[in-house]
Structure 1
Amino acid sequence: MKDASSDWFDSCVSHLTSEGSLRVWSVLVTIFGDLAQNKSDQISGSLITALTSLVGIKAEATRVALHRLRKEGWIESTRVGRASVHRLTEYGRNQSAAAAPRIYARETSKPEIWHVLVSSNSETSRKELADQLLTGEYVSVNPVTAMASGPMPDDLEELLGFETSAISVPEWLRELFGPEPLKTAYDDFWKSVRIIDELLPQTGVDDPMKTAVLRILVVHNWRRIILRHPVLPAYFLPADWKGPACREEVSRLLDRLPRPHLATLEAELNT
């Protein structure tokens, strides 16, 4: 049964923030990435504070996080009278655009080609493998072996590399790529989004600010999980892995919580 009481929104926020204190700068990255990823998009400081306050984040914490994002090159700010507006820098837009397919895709990609890299025990070879792992595209099989989807890089120096379209995935590899802590995170997120689906009013959310906040929290929690590992098809993961089910539910919730226009949200501040 749907929760028709006046506190359904607070219940949704509570479930979506139940893991503890939020990293405010990370929430802001989600806000900009979801609501203001285009070059022309900008968000007033007042709107950012209004959105974060509905999540329970204090205004001072929001100001500190905005300062951090400016310092790290994610956003730039402009004074308009006594107020400020904020927008993603080119670096911030590029980072957001790179993560977007992982976050918003309705299905996990199914690569036709994989490649494996193997290092020797030499320092230069191990460093080259470590540099490849830093790209976030590889999964480490063991200290000297990593693999990723797609064709093999053509600039390898000290690494053995080979491509294949036929891979046998043993159970030990499934467990390696789907460790218990990450599996538990998906299980918990699955329970949370299912509850949100039940709590949302059947007739839809008619408040743009509440729509934006719930959408941001869903995306934020999903983003925190999905970006913790490279893209992997289901046959590389444990049989009871909740990743595909979570992705399906996230897509469903985002359809029910369509992205509000920034102009609409800004106008809400004056009503």
Structure 2
Amino acid sequence: MTSQNTWFETAVAELADPRDQRVWSVIVSLFGDLAQEPGAQISGGALTRIIEPIGIKPEAIRVALHRLRKDGWIESDRIGRVSMHFLTEYGRVQSAAVTPRIYARGPTPARPWHLLIAEEGAGTQVLDEVMLSHDCTPITRNVALGPGPAPGQIEGVLAFDVTPHTVPKWVQDRLCPQELRVACQSLFEAIQQAARSRPGDWSATPLQSATLRTILIHRWRRVVLRQPDLPAEFFPSDWSGPACRDAVFDLLDTLPRPAPQVLNNTA
């Protein structure tokens, strides 16, 4: 049985993404979960204490912060000898746009759908432009599926209101490719393993909670934002998304979200 003193380290190792971690993306996940509200700031010291247990070095954090400032996501101020970092207005808007998808606890409800078909070749550019302003999921280069009624007449695009009676395997495979299925199943198994080894009386410190929440949200975000927001019949039989979602929130519910000021004042 894993002891209470070592479970945190074990859980970090189990839950960390086995693929290369883009540090700037981890920081975006951290701010989106812990410091998305206007005025919320995370000190450089707190940022390091949260992320360093994942195996990310302070030098890599500084490089990632530089990139995020350059890209307009984050701003930084110095208060005495302390660096404080916070999301820009652009960063908050981008984070808020995906928050409902990341934190949604239930499946996509049944609703009307529409199908858009563009001519091969030049018509695909028109469809690309439509998808920039409509919530559509591409099926092939010239076919897309969207929620709700079909939009008004779009030159060069054939639109149908549809009800999916059958979804063939080739469509399921295009909407949910094997790589995404493997990533989701891997996260689900990692959470199950961490849950099995967790001592019954273990409780997280604010920093431990912040670290585990960051790992979990970051890894779940990389799954949920790549999966189309579609009902169950659009997914292959081996898709573990619903079970993985339940496991993510079962673990998150045991990790209280610490306030930024608490993290900034914790050594």
Gaps of 5+ in 1: none
Gaps of 5+ in 2: none
Q: 1:200 and 1:136 mapped to 2: Cα distance?
A: 44
Task: Report the residue type matching 1:193 in the other structure.
Answer: I
1:129 to 116, 127, 130: 127
Q: 2:177 and 2:19 mapped to 1: Cα distance?
A: 22
Q: 1:21 and 1:244 mapped to 2: Cα distance?
A: 25
Return the TM-score normalized by structure 2. Answer: 0.93
Cα shift at 1:18 = 5.1
> Could you say which residue in structure 2 is the equivalent of 1:258?
256
1:3 touches 1:198 (CA, 8 Å); kept in 2? no
Q: 1:68 and 1:195 mapped to 2: Cα distance?
A: 35
2:175 touches 2:228 (CA, 8 Å); kept in 1? no
Q: How many residue pairs were aligned?
A: 267
Q: 2:187 and 2:149 mapped to 1: Cα distance?
A: 33
RMSD of aligned residue pairs (Cα, Å): 1.9
Q: 2:20 and 2:239 mapped to 1: Cα distance?
A: 26
> Could you say which residue in structure 2 is the equivalent of 1:209?
207
> Could you say which residue in structure 1 is the equivalent of 2:174?
176
1:111 touches 1:149 (CA, 8 Å); kept in 2? no
11-20 vs 60-69, which moves further: 11-20
Change (3 A) 1:155 1:100: farther
> In the TM superposition, what whole-angstrom CA distance separates every residue of 1:218-242 from its partner, at most 9, and x where no partner exists?
1111001111132121111012210
2:180 touches 2:227 (CA, 8 Å); kept in 1? no
What does 1:15-54 correspond to in 2, within 5 Å?
15-17=14-16, 19-54=18-53
2:41 touches 2:85 (CA, 8 Å); kept in 1? yes
Q: 2:76 and 2:9 mapped to 1: Cα distance?
A: 31
Change (3 A) 1:14 1:132: farther
Q: 2:51 and 2:185 mapped to 1: Cα distance?
A: 26
> Could you say which residue in structure 2 is the equivalent of 1:230?
228
> Could you say which residue in structure 2 is the equivalent of 1:104?
103
1:4 aligns to 2:31 (yes or no)? no
2:4 touches 2:198 (CA, 8 Å); kept in 1? no
Change (3 A) 1:266 1:107: same
Runs of 4+ in 1 over 4 A off after TM superposition: 133-136
Q: 2:179 and 2:200 mapped to 1: Cα distance?
A: 34
1:47 touches 1:266 (CA, 8 Å); kept in 2? yes
Task: State, as a whole percentage, how many aligned pairs show the same letter.
Answer: 42
> In the TM superposition, what whole-angstrom CA distance separates every residue of 1:21-70 from its partner, at most 9, and x where no partner exists?
31100000001000001012111111111111121111110011011011
What does 1:132-211 correspond to in 2, within 5 Å?
132-133=130-131, 137-154=135-152, 156-211=154-209
1:116 touches 1:148 (CA, 8 Å); kept in 2? yes
Return the TM-score normalized by structure 1. Answer: 0.91
